[in-house]
């Protein structure tokens, strides 16, 4: 009994440490994107911005895949039945935040001023939502919050931008 208890405790500690390491890497990527997208608040040279965005494209994609080790897709009946097991159903909301960040990083260079303004606001929302979700998760053996168990609605960056409150966009200068 003592060995089983120790083993269970150790397994919990290892998972918590792994999720925390992944979460820290994810927060660094999300916050990096937020800083690039923060309208007028960050001044970096175009070459540096392009280099960082390219790295963020890779990092966010890799972090999504690493996150699949900790957060399984939500069952969605027949959706994705023909896919590999890790990709069946709907991706969890916590991973959707990284997917939206990836989409922004990929589209930033080609975006116009209005679209960049909206992307910046979404980048801010994404990092805040991610931190809130991971905060509910870190330190527990299994998902402690029903929010992190629930599947996301898909990572549609353009839809999220369209949902922004007009007053909020105007207040930011759009």
pLDDT reported for residue 149: 72
Q: Does the CA dihedral 147-9-85-70 come out positive or negative?
A: positive
Contact 39, 116 (CB under 8 A): yes
Q: For the segment 23-39, what is each residue's pLDDT rounded down to a tens digit?
A: 999 999 999 999 999 86
pLDDT reported for residue 174: 60
Confidence of residue 86 (pLDDT cuts 50, 70, 90): confident
Mean pLDDT in residue range 76-84: 79
Mean pLDDT across the chain, nearest whole number? 86
Q: Distance (Å, rounded) from C-alpha 165 to C-alpha 39?
A: 17
Confidence of residue 157 (pLDDT cuts 50, 70, 90): confident
pLDDT reported for residue 13: 58
H or E segment at 162? helix 157-162
- The DSSP symbol for 85 reads G
Instruction: Provide, rounded to the nearest whole percent, the portion of the chain with pLDDT above 90.
Output: 52
Closest CA to 130 of 91, 161, 87, 93: 93
Q: Distance (Å, rounded) from C-alpha 72 to C-alpha 56?
A: 23
pLDDT reported for residue 27: 98
Confidence of residue 54 (pLDDT cuts 50, 70, 90): very high
Contact 98, 58 (CB under 8 A): no
**Better-scored residue on pLDDT, 122 or 80:** 122
Contact 137, 19 (CB under 8 A): yes
Closest CA to 61 of 15, 103, 92: 103
Q: Which two tokens stand for residue 111?
A: 């975006």
H or E segment at 158? helix 157-162
Q: Which residue has the tokens 């330190």?
A: 139
- Predicted TM-score (pTM) of this structure: 0.75
């Amino acid at each position: 009994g003592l060995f089983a208890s120790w083993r269970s405790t150790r397994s919990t500690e290892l998972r918590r440490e792994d999720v925390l390491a992944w979460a820290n890497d994810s927060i660094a990527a999300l916050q990096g994107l937020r800083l690039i997208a923060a309208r007028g608040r960050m001044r970096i040279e175009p070459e540096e911005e392009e280099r960082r965005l390219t790295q963020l494209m890779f990092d966010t994609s890799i972090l999504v895949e690493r996150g699949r080790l900790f957060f399984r897709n939500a069952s969605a009946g027949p959706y994705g039945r023909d896919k590999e097991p890790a990709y069946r159903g709907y991706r969890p909301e916590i991973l959707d935040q990284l997917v939206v960040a990836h989409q922004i990083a990929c589209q930033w260079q080609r975006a116009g001023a209005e679209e960049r303004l909206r992307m910046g606001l979404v980048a801010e929302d994404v990092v805040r939502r991610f931190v809130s979700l991971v905060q509910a998760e870190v330190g527990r053996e299994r998902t402690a919050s029903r929010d992190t168990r629930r599947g996301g609605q898909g990572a549609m960056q353009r839809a999220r931008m369209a949902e922004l409150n007009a007053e909020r966009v105007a207040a930011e200068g759009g």
